[in-house]
Amino acid sequence: MTAISERAAPLARPARRFSRSWLGLAPFFLFAIFFIGAPVTYLVLGSFQNNEGQTTLQNYADLATPSIANAFLITIEVSLVTAVVGGIFGFLLAYAVILGGLPRVLRDALMTFSGVASNFAGVPLALAFIFTLGQLGMVTVFLKNFGIDPYASGFTIYSKLGLELVYLYFQFPLMVLIIAPAIDGLRPEWREAAENMGASSRQYWQRVALPILFPTLLGTMILLFGNAFGAQATAYQLTSGLIPLVPLLIGNQIAGDVLHNPGLGYAMAMGMVAIMGISIAIYTLLQRRAERWRR
Amino acid sequence: MKRRRGSIAWWLVFLLGVLYFFLPLVATLDFSLKAKPPFAAYTSSLQDPKFLGSLLYSLVIAGVTITASLALIVPTAYWVQLRVPRARSLVEFVTLLPFVIPAVVLVFGLIRVYSRPPLPFTHTDIGSSALLVAGYIVLSLPYMYRAVDTGLRSIDIRSLTEAAQSMGAGWLTILWRVILPNLRVALLSGAFLTLAIVLGEFTIANFLARPAFGPYLNLLSQSKAYEPAAVSLISFGLTWLAMIAIAFLGRDTRTRIEIGGAH
């Protein structure tokens, strides 16, 4: 009897087990549906409706309105500049402490600082830079003592350049954190093998190290791009809307329908999600490529 | 000779990094100390009931977020690993969504959906706070899930589960008394990272009009001169403490990358 029922069970079980096992994930998926799915669906549906509630693609066409297209361009520019500059500087910094012959203590210190700095953003970060490079900031006053007045030559911390300087504060530490394991993964054997074949240091970097690191470098820069693109609090505190960034426009749209067209606001949010989605997708692909060298 | 010159260049890069890290902090400290008498900015901030109130509010919200997030994620990750491995990629995809949906877009949707019947969350204080917690759980998903999942991988949950079952334990008992204690380090580092994110978060709290720490600092900066510097430094110190705690917890295991996300 038992033997038969045990043998019969596997036939019956998979189907039942399938549904009952998935039931255990119900709380998680319910939460996701309520607090990720519902809000996003609302924005998606809204982006395809005009003020009269009719279905339309006009909102997406209206993203080309100069003021909105300009906001996208400026946000992309700021994100790109801080991703590339932060990426290069973060890489050099990580390289300096790992392979540059600096004491080991500095490496541990840098990793801890990077963990803190990449998490230190938003209102306090913007304020810290105002105290540093604002009109009465410490560095500004210091430079003035030497006869250099940044503000006389047109610089202000509330400008695009200022915003980029602030964003770099959380950008390059993130690069350090992500690239450090990749630099660590460069095997000494590869360098030795290259040197045995007569390669110079430059050739080793050009032909071996950089090609291996390239997917990680590029992927991480793309991640930094998304990191800056989605940032809202820092820019809000620093510029109070002087620089038209997409997250700030969306913020204005939440507070009150400043575009006089809710659908356009939703389309803008979708545009932002699309750009973030593309950058994360490319990052994931490149990470997968980079995995090949890590065994 | 050549190597030494290289080393000097790397020292310069490092010094530049150090300057970048510390100048803003030194400037903030310098500014906060300009208030007369010295430390007045700190004493008046600490005595401001709104400072303590907002900090306390954010700490409570962080506590609720961490508890709820763990209650949601630990059973899910456990169940995925034990029973439905085929759901793994779908669950992981969902936990990574916050990287694609920025906080400002998330709160946009949340406010539009939950400010009208049938679920008018934003009409009451408690409802808005609940919505805030929900938003923060979403923000914490990538870090929490990864921390818990890595923790679960490092222990043999199948044997532990079977051993507990053979002694007659139910699912809740297994999770609470067998799995959770074994995940202590992973859970604590996920919790501290969430704490750092919640304490520094501004966007969601601001649009939900919550009296949290981020919006408080923003308001303070519009009305006071030196106090914002003091409070910024305190905020930095709190982030620092949370990160030190994570580094301390991870000292036995391999150093893990912890990346927050509330900019």
Distance CA B106, CA B207 (A): 11
Distance CA B181, CA B29 (A): 41
Per DSSP, the three-state class of B106 is: helix
Top pLDDT among B38 and B176 is at B176
Residue with tokens 């400037």: B27
Query: Is the omega angle on the peptide bond into residue B120 within 30 degrees of 0, that is, cis?
Result: no
Structure tokens at A100: 């540059």
Dihedral, CA of residue A114, residue A116, residue A121 and residue A123, to nearest 10: -150
B69 part of contact set with chain A, CB < 8 Å: no
B183 part of contact set with chain A, CB < 8 Å: no
Asked whether the predicted pLDDT for residue A157 surpasses 70, the reply is: yes
B126 part of contact set with chain A, CB < 8 Å: no
B103 part of contact set with chain A, CB < 8 Å: yes
Chain A: nearest CA to B243, how far in angstroms?
6
Which backbone phi and psi does B127 adopt, to 5 degrees? -65, -45
B203: nearest CB among A34, A115, A233: A233
Structure tokens at B209: 């009009």
pLDDT of residue A173: 93
Number of Cβ within 10 Å of residue A52's Cβ equals 6
Q: What is the pTM of this model?
A: 0.88
Per DSSP, B85 falls in state G
Contact B96 A122 (CB under 8 A): no
Mean pLDDT of all residues belonging to chain B: 88
pLDDT, average across residues B169-183: 89
Chain B: nearest CA to A60, how far in angstroms?
17
Distance CA A92, CA A69 (A): 34
B24: nearest CB among A119, A128, A228: A128
Among residues B144, B103, B259, the alpha carbon closest in space to that of A176 is found at B259
Q: Beta partners for A49?
A: A55
Which backbone phi and psi does A204 adopt, to 5 degrees? -60, -45
pLDDT of residue B259: 53
* Domain range annotation of chain B: 52-249
Mean pLDDT of all residues belonging to chain A: 88
pLDDT of residue A259: 83
B3: nearest CB among A42, A101, A124: A101
Per DSSP, A55 falls in state B
Structure tokens at B144: 């929490």
Contact B112 A31 (CB under 8 A): no
pLDDT, average across residues A233-252: 90
B212 part of contact set with chain A, CB < 8 Å: no
B217 part of contact set with chain A, CB < 8 Å: yes
The CATH code belonging to domain B52-249 is 1.10.3720.10
Distance CA A268, CA A220 (A): 25
Asked whether the predicted pLDDT for residue A245 surpasses 90, the reply is: yes
Asked whether the predicted pLDDT for residue B1 surpasses 50, the reply is: no
Per-residue pLDDT tens digits for A52-90: 888 899 999 999 999 999 999 999 999 999 999 999 999
B144 part of contact set with chain A, CB < 8 Å: no
Contact B202 A237 (CB under 8 A): yes
Chain B: nearest CA to A9, how far in angstroms?
17
Where b means 16+ CB within 10 Å and e means fewer, A153-183 reads eeeebbebebbbbbbbbbbbbbbbbbbbbbb
**Any residues with CB less than 8 A from the CB of B251 and at least 6 apart, and which?**
none
Dihedral sign, Cα of residue B193, residue B206, residue B228, residue A152: positive
Q: What pLDDT band is residue B38 in, cutting at 50, 70 and 90? A: confident
Asked whether the predicted pLDDT for residue A18 surpasses 70, the reply is: no
Length of chain B: 263
Contact B104 A106 (CB under 8 A): no
Q: What pLDDT band is residue B253 in, cutting at 50, 70 and 90? A: low
CATH superfamily of A75-247+283-291: MetI-like (1.10.3720.10)
**How many alpha carbons lie under 13 Å from residue A172 in its C-beta half-sphere?**
26
Q: Tell me how far apart the 2 most distant CA atoms of chain B are, in Å.
A: 75
Q: CA-nearest residue of chain A to B30?
A: A138
- In this prediction the ipTM stands at 0.89
Contact A42 B197 (CB under 8 A): no
Distance CA B90, CA B73 (A): 14
Separation of CA B180 from chain center: 20
Contact B27 A100 (CB under 8 A): no
pLDDT of residue A52: 86
pLDDT, average across residues A170-179: 92
Contact A127 B96 (CB under 8 A): no
Per DSSP, A80 falls in state H
% pLDDT > 90, chain A: 55
B259: nearest CB among A112, A174, A226: A174
CA dist A205 → A11, A99, A197, B35, B151 (Å): 59, 13, 14, 52, 37
Q: CA-nearest residue of chain B to A180?
A: B257
Distance CA B260, CA B97 (A): 14
Chain A: nearest CA to B152, how far in angstroms?
16
Distance CA B121, CA A81 (A): 40
Contact A36 B101 (CB under 8 A): yes
Per-residue pLDDT tens digits for B128-161: 999 999 999 999 999 899 889 988 988 888 999 9
B104: nearest CB among A124, A181, A250: A250
Per DSSP, B174 falls in state I
Q: Beta partners for A55?
A: A49
DSSP 3-state percent helix, strand, coil across chain B (nearest 5):
80, 0, 20
Burial of A205: CB neighbours in 10 Å, binned 0-12, 13-18, 19+: middle
